């Protein structure tokens, strides 16, 4: 009897103990599904401990929202699209809910709440990790996903490290990191979007939560990948496509795409911290012209301002800004100025006084303005999450428009303040929703870029160029980005390549890095290699810091000057190709600088750390970066046939090869079947090229197409049809190249087309009739001078081709071979 009593007491104790433990468990899960309401393409779900909403955005995109309390009104600074009307079948039983589109199937388990995604034919793409799923620790929320066998992870925006992020963890909180290391995390920007790859499948996940977020791709565990945030709701979009390129297209359909940039912004930009006074700016501009280095932009860093106060000029250094910018425009240069968010607290300073009057600064809870110290001293900071502040900022930019400025460079917008420790309790308007610094920090730069773009668009009357150091998902709608204060080191140059490739995977097409390195003094060989790589970056800017040696191309000696001239010249000849590639980015969100993971996703070689820096520039050029001092380099050629850009020599793909390297040339190859428009050399985009457009076509076995695009390069008329656009198609099976009828109301600036055929043999026909193609020779680079007085001239390196000049009409025509 006593034993039975003791047993009963023990059982009661265990029941009480475990129920108390469950109540006190610091990790809280949603629990089981209690109620489901289906409203067309949306499910509203109540669980034991949470509220969920599942929305079909399209056949390929499903959104998951989850919170411990009732879901708040929907709001996002990143997502600008609404759900598309989609054919979807939703059903449920006692165990699960099934959501089926033409492309994707989602299964929501009811006991407990858990989500899995499948292909239409039943292959698992992605699933919650059993037993972990989604959970909260205090206010932090994390979703745990089962780690699939051999799974790779790419993207996540501006993140250092390897192309394949498996085994690593990352934090997103926008951070000022002067001279950051090549493995440092976090750095400047937050783009919480990554792509998972396994078993010939690809998917994307975008966590739209602006609090500090954390991503774990198997770091310190062998069970799961995860993503979560330190506050707010779990809110993610799951994207499935068969091709990585289409995942990027769907992601940018959600978060928006860039508009056509001004043509001049694709030219070479010369910068230093800092060029002053105005006589030094003129000297730099004149030297670029004298040295025959094509260039379109000069950038002014903080020393142009009066004691670093934003929207001012130092009248001793720059007594008449408008006269200066007019003279520079006559020389073919546009001016970009740095603009920081901090507004100095100083009575009588116009920007400060107007900001006070409009009451647009970020505040403490007691309604006093937050004060932080930065370049001008103690400053207030515009609350760019307030529409009123964005409008005010635009009105301040009008002065720059009056002064003839063409570009706005947003810096220090993480927000950066001395001490780098802004208080959590600073309050922001958040477009009427109100938010603390914890929630608003990561979108501050996005909203500053928005205010700068909208203000400059109105003030300049032409397409503005906007550059930012920091941002959040969606900033591509307003701004280009550069990778901040890098170092003049080989490792940083190559890390920069990976940063740009990762940004491209994350929906950001217009990116660049400081050519030559910002901090420190780089070697001659480093600069030579870096400017070669820079010619194949979307944004091409040479920049170095204060208290460093001068780092303009001519400061490294005559040989490097010639190397620089060669590659800047090549960049300018390729502007029709590059401008058309930017047009493609405005249409589908694809990057200009393409990681090989986009087109060769399931080729294991491209993730090898030996080859992970290789990338495509547009669709045609395979670029192979190496250290400046390297004499040999191991490279990998993906599937297909590849032409040496400089000689036309053909290299077959699916193989590794060791190349002999030198400082004179960057290894670059052209993909078979490529279509590459080029123009004559100009010294600035303000100068018109000759009236012949050169179209290079490389023989190949793959079908290909290229949309050639022109507009006036500066106005907004392209948005209402004033452009010239033409689809050029290569059909390998039919052995035809077709130029479709031109589209748009604009006439091409080229009256003639010179067709250059690479690798073609035998007779060629134009519109079915024998064509008089001539034997020709092309060379992409000018031979370097032999500086040894006893040496002979270097030979011209090039390729024998066939060429023909025809009239550039808007009518359809074709070539057969």
- Catalytic sites, residue numbers: 411, 414, 485
Q: Backbone phi, then psi, for 196, in 5-degree steps?
A: -100, 145
Q: Backbone phi, then psi, for 442, in 5-degree steps?
A: -70, -15
- Which of 251, 204, 208, 268 lies closest to 233, judged by CA? 208
Q: Which residues lie below 8 Å from residue 399, measured CB to CB, with a gap of 6+?
A: 311
CA 548 to chain centre: 29
Q: How many degrees, rounded to 5, is the angle at CA 86 between CA 82 and CA 92?
A: 110
Please give the helix or strand (H or E) that residue 373 lies within, else none.
strand 372-374
- Which of 515, 545, 519, 535 lies closest to 527, judged by CA? 515
> Per residue in 536-574, is it b (16+ CB within 10 Å) or e — as a string?
bbbbbbbbbbeebeebbbbebeeebbbbbbbbbbbbbbb
- Which of 780, 713, 778, 776 lies closest to 569, judged by CA? 780
Q: Cα separation of 712 and 710, whole Å?
A: 7
Tracing tokens 């290909």 back to the chain, one arrives at 704
Q: Cα separation of 503 and 411, whole Å?
A: 18
Q: Cα separation of 176 and 413, whole Å?
A: 8
**String of DSSP letters for 45-86:** EEESS-EEEEEEEETTEEEEEEESSPPPPP--SS----PPP-
C-beta separation of 340 from 400 below 8 A: no
Q: Cα separation of 37 and 49, whole Å?
A: 17
Tokens of 792: 């002979």
C-beta separation of 113 from 95 below 8 A: no
Q: Which residues lie below 8 Å from residue 456, measured CB to CB, with a gap of 6+?
A: 394, 397, 400, 401, 408, 464, 466
**Overall size of the chain counted in residues:** 817
């Amino acid at each position: 009897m006593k034993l039975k009593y003791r047993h009963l007491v023990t059982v009661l104790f265990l029941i009480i103990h475990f129920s108390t433990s469950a109540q006190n468990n610091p990790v809280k899960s949603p629990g089981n599904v209690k109620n489901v309401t289906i409203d067309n393409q949306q499910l509203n779900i109540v669980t034991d401990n949470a509220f969920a909403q599942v929305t079909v955005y399209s056949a390929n995109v499903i959104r998951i929202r989850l919170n411990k309390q009732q879901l708040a009104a929907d709001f996002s600074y990143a997502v600008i699209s609404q759900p598309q009307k989609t054919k979807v079948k939703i059903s449920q039983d006692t165990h699960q809910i099934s959501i089926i589109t033409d492309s994707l199937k989602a299964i929501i388990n009811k006991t407990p709440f858990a989500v899995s995604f499948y292909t239409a034919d039943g292959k698992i793409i992605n699933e919650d990790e059993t037993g972990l799923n989604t959970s909260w620790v205090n206010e932090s929320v994390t979703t745990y996903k089962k780690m699939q066998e051999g799974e790779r992870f790419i993207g996540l925006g501006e993140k250092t490290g390897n192309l394949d992020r498996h085994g690593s963890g990352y934090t997103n909180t926008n951070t000022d990191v002067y001279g950051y290391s090549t493995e440092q995390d976090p750095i400047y920007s937050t783009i919480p979007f990554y792509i998972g790859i396994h078993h010939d499948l690809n998917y994307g996940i975008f966590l739209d939560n602006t609090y500090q977020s954390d991503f774990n791709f198997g770091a310190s565990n062998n069970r799961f990948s995860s993503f979560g945030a330190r506050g707010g709701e779990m809110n993610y979009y799951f994207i499935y496509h068969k091709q990585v390129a289409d995942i990027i297209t769907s992601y940018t359909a959600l978060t928006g795409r860039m508009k056509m940039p001004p043509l001049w912004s694709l030219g070479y930009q010369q910068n230093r911290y800092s060029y002053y006074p105005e006589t030094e700016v003129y000297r730099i501009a004149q030297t670029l012209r004298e040295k025959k280095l094509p260039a379109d932009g000069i950038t002014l860093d903080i020393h142009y301002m009066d004691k670093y106060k934003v929207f001012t000029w130092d009248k001793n250094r720059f007594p008449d800004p408008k006269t200066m910018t007019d003279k520079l425009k006559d020389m073919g240069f546009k001016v970009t100025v740095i603009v920081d968010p901090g507004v100095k607290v100083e009575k009588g300073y116009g920007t400060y006084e107007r900001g006070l009057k409009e009451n647009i600064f970020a505040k403490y809870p007691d309604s006093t303005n937050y004060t932080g110290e930065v370049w001008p001293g103690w400053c207030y900071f515009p609350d760019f999450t307030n529409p009123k502040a964005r409008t005010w900022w635009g009105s301040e930019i009008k002065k720059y428009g009056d002064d003839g400025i063409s570009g706005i460079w947003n810096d220090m917008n993480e927000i950066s303040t001395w001490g780098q420790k802004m208080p959590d309790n600073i309050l922001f308007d958040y477009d009427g929703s109100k938010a603390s610094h914890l929630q608003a920090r990561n979108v501050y730069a996005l909203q500053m870029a928005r205010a700068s773009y909208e203000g400059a668009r109105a003030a300049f009357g032409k397409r503005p160029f906007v550059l930012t150091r920091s941002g959040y998902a969606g900033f591509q709608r307003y701004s280009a980005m550069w990778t901040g204060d890098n170092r003049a080191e080989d490792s940083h140059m190559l890390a920069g390549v990976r940063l740009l490739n990762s940004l491209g995977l994350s929906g950001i097409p217009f990116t660049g890095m400081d050519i030559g390195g910002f901090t420190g003094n780089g070697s001659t060989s480093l600069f030579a290699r870096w400017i070669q790589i820079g010619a194949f970056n979307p944004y091409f800017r040479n920049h170095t810091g204060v208290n460093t040696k001068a780092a303009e191309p001519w400061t490294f000696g005559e040989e490097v000057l010639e190397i620089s001239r060669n590659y800047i010249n090549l960049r300018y000849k390729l502007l029709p190709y590059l401008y058309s590639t930017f047009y493609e980015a405005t249409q589908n969100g694809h990057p200009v600088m393409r990681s090989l993971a986009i087109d060769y996703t399931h080729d294991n070689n491209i993730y090898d750390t030996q080859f992970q820096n290789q990338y495509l520039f547009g669709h045609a050029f395979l670029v192979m970066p190496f250290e400046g001092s390297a004499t040999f380099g191991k490279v990998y050629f993906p599937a297909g046939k590849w032409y040496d850009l400089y000689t036309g020599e053909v290299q077959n793909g699916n193989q590794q090869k060791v190349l002999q390297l030198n400082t004179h040339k960057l290894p670059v190859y052209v993909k078979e079947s490529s279509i590459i428009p080029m123009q004559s050399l100009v010294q600035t985009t303000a100068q018109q090229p000759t009236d012949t457009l050169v179209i290079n076509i490389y023989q190949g076995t793959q079908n290909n197409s290229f949309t050639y695009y022109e507009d006036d390069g500066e106005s907004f008329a392209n948005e209402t049809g004033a452009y010239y656009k033409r689809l050029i198609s290569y059909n390998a099976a039919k052995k035809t190249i077709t130029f479709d009828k031109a589209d748009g109301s604009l006439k091409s600036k080229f009256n003639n087309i010179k067709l250059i055929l690479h690798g073609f043999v035998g007779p060629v026909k134009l519109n079915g009739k024998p064509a008089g193609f001539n034997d020709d020779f092309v060379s992409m680079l000018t031979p370097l001078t032999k500086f040894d007085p006893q040496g002979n001239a270097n030979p011209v390196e090039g390729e024998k081709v066939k060429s023909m000049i025809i009239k550039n009409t808007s009518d359809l025509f074709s070539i057969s071979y």
